[in-house]
Homo-oligomer: A and B are copies of this chain.
Amino acid sequence: MNRKSAPDLINVNHLRVACSSCSLRELCLPAGLDLREMERVDRLVNRRRKLAHGEHLYRSGTPLAALYAIRSGFMKSCVLHDDGREQVAGFHMPGDLLGLDAISTGRHISDTVALEDTEVCEIPFPHLERLARELPSLHQQLNRVLSREIARDYGVMLLLGSMKAEERLAAFLLNLSQRFAARGYSALEFRLRMTREEIGSYLGLKLETISRVLSRLAQEGLIEVRHKNVKILDAEALRRMLSQR
């Protein structure tokens, strides 16, 4: 944004970071907005923030300053017990909107951490509220995003409350698969950015169980696992594990 010559190059650079030219816009906050509206949302996003692997985006207890949209990278959110145990509440990928849990009290209730180098768009919350007041479709989209998170949470409850280890893993893998696909990545081959322990925490299981079940699924020919790389060989069979019985 600071070059003097070659205005077209500058232009390209500018476009690259604008919502209107972001490949994630249909998944993210500006979904459903027209171009003029999207430009106004662009102006909200006054800062991008880079996080190194392992860095916190925010911590439980800190005041809500902004919502964040992931531009690239991968993150996890955890809720912590008083006693230090932690529960992974979700994994986040590009296009996901973070910080929603803090709106009600004005303080975050989870820790959100980068699982690889990550870039986020920072959307100052008071500005967002103000703009949402002016743009009904933005307001609507914010409601939808909040509600979508509630729906997702219900799915997690289902998983934690009434599925067996194998089913949980199958659901987990299919969910990742589907989300990668929605972002233009391969649905059938991807890299797990999180450790077995983090998967376990998310699924309410221990890391050894995750490891064993992955091995078992591999042995049965449903998937192929090489370290963090997973290939889904028989998505249909995974789906069957969820619906049947």
Contacts and interface: CB of A to CB of B under 8 A. Distances in A.
Contacts of A81: 158, 162, 242-243
Contact of A160 (B139, B157, B242, B245): B157
Contacts of A203: 161
Interface string A69-112: 00000000001011101111100000000001111110001100
Contacts of A185: none
A150 interface: yes
A201 interface: yes
Given A109-B151, A146-B150, A153-B153, A162 B85 contact: yes
Copies of this chain, how many? 2
Contacts of A204: 160-162
Interface stretch (A5-13, A22-30, A37-45, A129-137): A129-137
A150 to B, nearest CB: 5
Contacts of A242: 81-82
Contact of A103 (B100, B104, B136, B143): B143
A235 interface: no
Contact of A87 (B87, B150, B161, B201): B161
A133 B245 CA distance: 46
A58 to B, nearest CB: 14
A229 interface: no
Interface residues of A, number: 50
Nearest to A86: B162
B129 A162 contact: no
A68 interface: no
Contacts of A244: 82-83
Interface string A140-175: 101111111111011111101110000000000000
B79 A202 contact: no
A104 B162 contact: no
Given A139-B133, A162-B201, A104 B145 contact: yes
Contacts of A85: 162
A201 B158 CA distance: 10
Nearest to A204: B161
A85 B150 CA distance: 20
A67 to B, nearest CB: 11
25 contacts: A79-B154, A79-B155, A79-B157, A81-B158, A81-B243, A83-B243, A86-B162, A87-B158, A87-B162, A89-B154, A100-B150, A101-B154, A103-B144, A104-B144, A104-B150, A105-B151, A110-B154, A129-B136, A129-B139, A129-B140, A142-B143, A143-B143, A143-B146, A150-B153, A153-B154
